[in-house]
Structure 1
Amino acid sequence: MTGYVLYEYTPNLPCAVLFAALFALSTALHLYQRIRHHSKYFNPFIVGGIFQVIGYGARCVSHFSPTAVMPYSLQSLFILLAPILYAASIYMVLGRIITFVDAPHLSVVPVHRMTKTFVGGDIFSFILQAAGGGIMSSGKEKALQIGQYVIIAGLGVQLLFFGSFLLASFYFHSRIVKTPTEKAERTKDLRASIWPRDWRGLLFACYAVSLLILVRSVYRLVEFSQGSSGYVISHEVFLYVFDAAMMFCVMLIMNLFHPSVVLSQVEDAEKN
């Protein structure tokens, strides 16, 4: 038991079970796609899915033991950190798209530094948020407050690097459209489609999931800024609308438009 109220509500069991199952199914499919296509750059993404399964599994336990610190800490930490791992894979996908269309000269960030730059920021954000979650794991009021401040700093770093990544993506996209390379033109899907199955469609998929992760990060920033008694953290519906549902959509979009569909030539070259 703890003298501090961990939840302002009893965690909803059906929702926790539903999302644990959905994330498990999507993660299993991502694992299959990763093994089939040797897309090792999606390893962080798969780990993020595993984090979600653990997190919502822990919320199931919290339904029956809402005052238990361990399941509270597990669900808080793993659900918080999963999107950082998604972002790490998305960063690597952009670099591979640029390489795929032979357009390193059109990137504002040198391709050989892109992964190190953005993933490095992601790792720093991960460390801060993990440290904040670790501090909060004691369940004590003072520790919860300190942990929230550290997590806010980590979310700020995440938003800074994620915003920079989106700007770099838009800059590259605008330049490749104005001055397309021979490879970019040759690999276009010429079939009439709202969402082309080529590098352009993959960029659109990256934009879609990036927007979802960005909105989710803003939601979390608002949540922790309000504190442990704030309106957002006190109402479970916000977690499922702005985190669970959005992050499942991220995983589903990348299931449906897996980068290996477009980047198979890059992956085949790496295997040889």
Structure 2
Amino acid sequence: MAESGLQPYKGGYYLWKYIPSLAAAVIFTLLFLAATVLHSWRLYKTRLWLGIWFAIGGLMEFIGYAARCSASSNTGKLMPFIIQNTFLLLPPVLFAASVYMTLGRIIRSVPAGERYSLVRTTWLTRVFVAGDVVSFCIQGGAAGLMATGGGKAVVGEKIIIGGLMVQVIMFGLFVMTAGVFHWRYERHAVGAVAYRGGGSREGLLVLYGVSGLIMVRSVFRVAEFAMGQDGYPLMHEWTLYVFDSVLMLAAMVVFYVWHPSKLEESTTRGRIDSGLISVSFFLCN
């Protein structure tokens, strides 16, 4: 039975299982707006374009929560539901792109770093971001189906689960790649000044932390969609804020406090990779 006060969309189909909290949506709209402004300012100051994905992802989070503000009094309207559903689902994929690029920057910032990497730095970013683009396209293409109800909504959920699983698998491989490089460099080149004092070791720890936040969020989303429309996560709003909103805001804050601009390396490759990734996301859409 639908919660009292909910408005049906068409044919008695309810887009929402609860009335979205206006207070919570306003708070996170403002928080993500602040985080996005800070990342955009850092991007302008440093011209380090790998950070653009955090700025774009933060903007999407802001739009998503703004749509939830509108949806709190318009639960029967389709557009606010689609916007918040899509714009809150996709930002972690963009955050991941910056994380992948940062590992390549860390490896290039230390003496003979590529010698200890499982994947050549010329391919590292492209391989992982290629998986990211696939995940982005799958999730983005299926997000709108969930608003149609009936069989299409079920199909949309299954497709999104597939996209999220791609993201989880790629993140698992990424963490393994970062861990192997970390272990090898600690063992064989621990005396390197650029590694110990240049921010590379700290940067790796930050990448583990941000990756962990995105991984937990992605696993939660897999469970959310796997349990279906009548599952506990989609029936209770607090799960979204605890296992998605807070984690993604924390990821933005951590990446801002420790920023890859602290690393010293040639930025030419970073610009090339950023351009290639931009083209990939554009073609995907």
State TM-score, norm by structure 1. 0.92
104, 108, 111: which one aligns with 2:118: 108
State TM-score, norm by structure 2. 0.88
The structure-2 alpha-carbon separation of the partners of 1:211 and 1:269, relative to structure 1 and needing over 3 Å to count, comes to closer
Could you tell me the percent identity over the aligned residues? 37
- 2:255 corresponds to: 254
Letter in 1 for 2:239: F
Letter in 2 for 1:125: S
CA contact (8 A) 1:260 1:267 kept: no
124, 140, 151: which one aligns with 1:130: 140
Shift in Å, 1:232 = 1.2
Residue 99 (str. 1) matches residue 108 (str. 2)? yes
The structure-2 alpha-carbon separation of the partners of 1:268 and 1:33, relative to structure 1 and needing over 3 Å to count, comes to farther
SS at match of 1:29: helix
CA contact (8 A) 1:20 1:53 kept: yes
CA contact (8 A) 1:212 1:246 kept: yes
Residue 12 (str. 1) matches residue 21 (str. 2)? yes
SS at match of 1:4: coil
| Structure 2: unaligned runs, 5 residues or longer | 1-8, 272-285
SS at match of 2:234: coil
Shift in Å, 1:66 = 1.0
Shift in Å, 1:105 = 1.1
- 2:283 corresponds to: none
Letter in 2 for 1:160: I
Tell me how large the CA RMSD over aligned residues is. 1.7
CA contact (8 A) 2:58 2:91 kept: yes
- 2:127 corresponds to: 117
SS at match of 1:8: coil
- 2:196 corresponds to: 188
SS at match of 2:233: coil
| Superimposed CA distance per residue, residues 152-183 of structure 1 (whole angstroms, 9 cap, x where no aligned partner) | 0001111111100000000000001011177x
| Superimposed CA distance per residue, residues 58-115 of structure 1 (whole angstroms, 9 cap, x where no aligned partner) | 0000101011111001101110000000001100000010011131111001111111
Letter in 2 for 1:210: S
| Superimposed CA distance per residue, residues 200-252 of structure 1 (whole angstroms, 9 cap, x where no aligned partner) | 11111111010000000000000000001111111000000000000000000
- 1:151 corresponds to: 160
- 1:222 corresponds to: 223
- 2:55 corresponds to: 46
The structure-2 alpha-carbon separation of the partners of 1:136 and 1:270, relative to structure 1 and needing over 3 Å to count, comes to closer
The structure-2 alpha-carbon separation of the partners of 1:236 and 1:269, relative to structure 1 and needing over 3 Å to count, comes to closer
Shift in Å, 1:270 = 7.5
- 2:266 corresponds to: 266
Letter in 2 for 1:249: A
Letter in 1 for 2:224: E
CA contact (8 A) 2:214 2:248 kept: yes
SS at match of 2:266: helix
Question: 2-side partners of 1:269 and 1:66: how far apart?
Answer: 47
Shift in Å, 1:266 = 3.0
Letter in 2 for 1:229: D
Letter in 2 for 1:244: S
Question: 2-side partners of 1:269 and 1:57: how far apart?
Answer: 36
- 2:277 corresponds to: none
Question: 2-side partners of 1:99 and 1:29: how far apart?
Answer: 26
The structure-2 alpha-carbon separation of the partners of 1:268 and 1:50, relative to structure 1 and needing over 3 Å to count, comes to same
The structure-2 alpha-carbon separation of the partners of 1:267 and 1:73, relative to structure 1 and needing over 3 Å to count, comes to same
- 2:212 corresponds to: 211
Question: 1-side partners of 2:98 and 2:241: how far apart?
Answer: 23
The structure-2 alpha-carbon separation of the partners of 1:8 and 1:270, relative to structure 1 and needing over 3 Å to count, comes to closer
Query: Deviating runs (4+, > 4 A) in structure 1?
Result: 268-271
Question: 1-side partners of 2:122 and 2:95: how far apart?
Answer: 20
After superposition, residues 155-170 of structure 1 pair within 5 angstroms as: 155-170=164-179
The structure-2 alpha-carbon separation of the partners of 1:186 and 1:86, relative to structure 1 and needing over 3 Å to count, comes to closer
Letter in 2 for 1:38: R
- 1:193 corresponds to: none
